[in-house]
Amino acid sequence: MNGRRGDADLERSAENEWAPPSAIPSATPGSTDAVEEAAVGRQAASGVLWLTAQKWTIRLLGFVTIAVLTRLLSPEDFGTVAAASTILPFFYLLADLGFAAYIVQAAKVNQRMLSTAFWFSVSAGAVLCAVLFVIAPLMGALFGDPGVVPVLQALSFWVILTAFGSVPMAMLRRSMRFAVLAGQGAIAAVIAQVVAMVMAFSGMGVWALVGQSLVAPTITTILAWISTRWHPNLMFSRREFATLTRFGGQVLGVEFVAMVRASGEAAVISSTLGLAALGYMNIAQRLVQVVQDLTGGAIVPVTTVAFARIRENQDRLLSAYLRALRMSYAALSLPLTIVAVAAPMIVPILFGAAWETSYPVAQILAMAGALTVGAWLDHGLFYGVGKPGKWFVYALVIDGITFGMTAILVHSGLIAVAWGFLGVCVVATISRWFLVARILSAPVRRIVGPFLFMITAVVTSGAAGWGVMLITTSLPDVVSIVLVGAAVTLVHVTVTRMLAPQVISEGLIFIARSRWGRRIPILRNRRVTSDATS
């Protein structure tokens, strides 16, 4: 079908009508690459801070929710939902087909492209939702528990809910409206957590977790449509579909491999060690993921857009990547080190004594998490510069090795599985150095540099924290955790200042460029100085 307006009008509408003026690069005669990069930097800084604030809001309340739920629900309940949830993202990916990722980084979009992506996602989502409902018994047999069947059938509606909101969400990310995204995500998560707690106290068991999983995407999707004020036209373009599919197919490949690996690992663990073991693994993963989300959850959505905006200038792209890598390592490695040391005290306090089996797994996964910090940024880099195919090859190899290690080590227990994952992370990190160096046309040593200061800070601060924990065993756990955290922080910051002194100044400049930083006189002055010298 053809629209009433020409392509030029449609492109202007798609680019300008749904994005705030601040998201559109300046086209004035006096504009320069430096000015445009500074504008992108300000938007990226604000985006990271807004999304980080969202993560803190969600996770702090989530800690309360999970602390309550782990006392009301059994490890088997968590294992059942974890088993069912591993297959859901795969079905959503088939519905989205990577179109949202293309919309985010594309040089131009138009109404025909957006409508084509929307109608495909909704149609595919409805079909896949029905398919998942029908094949749920087969999944129950795969996981060795019939209780997975009704849970998976209920969660199948998650696919259509998320597919319906994929295009509006992509439009908000493309226009870098991260404050809106952060607010919507926080509202949806809080309501979903309240629903879960009410259902749990009502004695609904595992259905409390199901309710939480369905309420959040419902609210997020509704708010995204309200914010974009966009509506699709009755048009479906084969040409636009082909363009979307070429890029999206590679994105789908990456996510498909990850989903297969996650589903396979869950099936192997549950069938070999039982659903309770999968529940223990799930809690350990949640603890580490919470820490990662609180400190670096905004990296991928922000950097993908930011890198796409400056990808034509190789020097600026390399400079921006190295600054982001240094700050990411500094921000994420510190809290992960604290978890790696203090997990034996953190897990019982947060989740109860029944979950002590999770703490050694959480310690190992936290160490692995420190190594995977760079993977988050590299993911945004490869997508931002339009090379998801190269990332697909990397993901295929690494996820294949990860699953193989899990299948081999699962008979030795969860701790052995966690150690295997840590070993794979070492291999993955080294391989990414060479991949990124080639993408950025830079020497490998420049990519390795930020990692060296991070690993030194982690080892030394971790050793200091371990020593403090050993000499404070007679104190209450809460006091010991505070002292361990203080020791790790002090040593970590000291080592960072010695080996990478520019990290702190870069971090302050990054904050100063955001809307929040411009309200603080000291940071505002730092931003002005930085912009003048860039």
How far apart CA 342 and CA 336 sit, in angstroms, is 10
Cα–Cα distance between 515 and 136 in angstroms, integer? 47
pLDDT score for 10: 37
Phi, psi angle pair for 447, to nearest 5°: -75, -35
Instruction: Judge contact between 66 and 352, C-beta under 8 A.
Output: no
Q: What is the pLDDT of residues 398-432, one digit of tens each?
A: 999 999 999 999 999 999 999 999 999 999 999 99
The DSSP-derived string for 412-451 is: G-HHHHHHHHHHHHHHHHHHHHHHHHHHTT--HHHHHHHH
Does residue 96 surpass a pLDDT of 50? Answer: yes
Q: Does the pLDDT of residue 1 top 50, yes or no?
A: no
Q: How many CB atoms lie within 10 A of CB 478?
A: 11
- Alpha carbons 383 and 439: distance in angstroms, whole number: 11
pLDDT of residue 370: 84
Question: Please, which pLDDT band fits residue 19 given cuts at 50, 70 and 90?
Answer: very low
pLDDT winner (highest mean) among 316-330, 378-392, 485-499 = 485-499
Cα distances (Å, whole numbers) of residue 65 to 59, 131, 177, 258: 9, 32, 28, 28
Taking CA atoms, 473 is separated from 208, 467, 487, in Å, by 37, 10, 15
Task: Specify the DSSP class assigned to residue 213.
Answer: H
- For 302, how many CA atoms within 13 A lie in the half-sphere containing its CB? 25
Nearest CA among 206, 216, 202 for reference residue 58:
216
Q: Determine the Cα–Cα distance for residues 490 and 487; give it in Å rounded to an integer.
A: 5
DSSP 99-124: HHHHHHH-S---HHHHHHHHHHHHHH
Percent of the chain with pLDDT over 70: 81
Specify the pLDDT at position 295: 66
299 has pLDDT over 90:
no
CA distance 276 to 77: 8
pLDDT for the residue 511? 59
Per residue in 180-232, pLDDT tens? 887 888 888 889 988 988 998 888 888 888 888 899 889 999 999 999 888 89
Average pLDDT along the chain? 79
**Backbone angle region of 108, left / alpha / beta, with phi > 0 → left and psi within -120 to 50 → alpha:** beta
Residue 263 near residue 117 (C-beta atoms within 8 A):
no
Helix 388-409 crosses helix 238-273 at what angle (to 10 degrees)?
10
Q: Is the pLDDT of residue 528 over 50?
A: no
| 70 membership: H or E segment, kind and range | helix 33-72
Phi/psi of residue 464, each to 5°?
Answer: -65, -45
- Whether the Cβ atoms of residue 51 and residue 302 lie closer than 8 Å to each other: yes
Q: Which two tokens stand for residue 319?
A: 């400079």
Instruction: Read off the tokens for 378.
Output: 């590299």
Q: Does pTM surpass 0.75? A: no
Sequence-separated (6 or more) residues with CB below 8 Å from residue 473: 480
| Strongest mean pLDDT among 50-59, 197-206, 257-266 | 197-206
Compute CA 138 distance to the chain's CA centroid, rounded to the nearest angstrom. Answer: 30
Residue-wise pLDDT tens digits, 471-482:
998 899 899 999
pLDDT of residue 402: 92
pLDDT reported for residue 261: 87
**Are 444 and 433 a contacting pair, CB within 8 Å?**
yes
